[in-house]
Amino acid sequence: MTRRSIVAVISIFVHTVVVFAAMTADMWRPITEWPTPRSAMAYVADVPRPVRLVDIELPKPPRTQPTATAPAPGSPATTTQPIELAPTIAPSGISDETRREGTITRARLADVESNGGGVGPIGPPIAPPPAPPATQPPVRLSSGIRAPQRVVNVTPVYPAAARLTHVEGFVIIEATIDEKGNVARAQVLRSIPLLDEAALTAVRQWKFTPTLLNGVAVPIVMTVTVNFKLD
C-alpha cells in the first residue's frame, strides 16, 4: 500500500470513531443524568352527578276561582234589584224651543260618535281645482311664422376693456321669447369674450310683439345679432 492510501484509511477510521462517539454520547453519561420520561396523560370521563328530587322545582298548582256558595238554610237571601233613576225634570224657566235645540244637539253628537268621532260631511263636496293648462313648447322661427317685432330696444353698454383694446364685432344670441313677448332665455351662439356679457344684458331687456300661430300666441326661439362698433 502506498502512503497516501494508508493516510486515507486512518482518516476514515478516525472520522467513524468521532461520529459514533457523538451519536452515543448520551449512553456514556451516568444514569442519574438521563432525562426523566414524561408521565402519560389519561382521559378521565365525567362522572354523572346524581340528581336529587329536592333540586327539581315542582309546578305550582293553578289558582282556583272562588265559587259562589249557596246560602245556608235559615239565612236571609240577598237579591239584587235594578236601581231606577228618577226622571230628569227640566228646571223652570226653560222654553220648549231651548229643549228642542238641546235635543237636536244631542242627536248630532250621537251621529258624530257613531261615525267614529269624525265630523260628517257638511254641505256639497268641494270640486277639485281645474288642471293647469299644458305648457306650449317653444317653436323655432320658420317660413310659415311671422317674426315678432321688437318694441323695446335697449342699447348695450360698450365695455371699457373692449374700448381700450379696440374690440369690435357681432355677437349672435339665441333668444327664447315667451307668449307675452318677453325674453325668457338667452345664450351666446357666436362669442366675443369681452362683449358677450354686455350683449346678453341688453337682449334680456328687449320686448317683442307676441308671436301668433293659428291665431294663438306661442313662445318662439329666434336668433338676434348685437353689433359692437367703436365711434
Q: What is the pLDDT along the chain (231 residues), one digit of tens a residue?
A: 677 788 888 888 888 888 887 777 666 666 666 666 665 565 555 666 665 655 566 677 777 665 555 555 555 555 555 555 555 555 555 555 556 666 656 666 666 566 655 555 555 667 777 766 667 788 887 767 888 999 999 999 999 999 999 999 999 999 999 999 999 999 999 999 999 999 999 999 999 999 988 888 899 999 999 999 987
CB-CB contact of 221 with 173 (8 Å):
no
pTM of the model: 0.43
CATH topology for 139-228 is TolA/TonB C-terminal domain (3.30.2420)
pLDDT at 18: 83
Residue extents of the structural domains in the chain: 139-228
| Gap between the Cα atoms of 185 and 176, Å rounded | 5
- Distance in angstroms (rounded) separating the CA atoms of residues 39 and 208: 111
To which residue does cell 235559615 refer? 74
CB count within 10 Å of CB 222 equals 18
| End-to-end alpha carbon distance in the chain | 129
Residue 50: the pLDDT is 65
How would you label 25-62 residue by residue, b for 16+ Cβ within 10 Å and e otherwise?
Answer: eeeeeeeeeeeeeeeeeeeeeeeeeeeeeeeeeeeeee
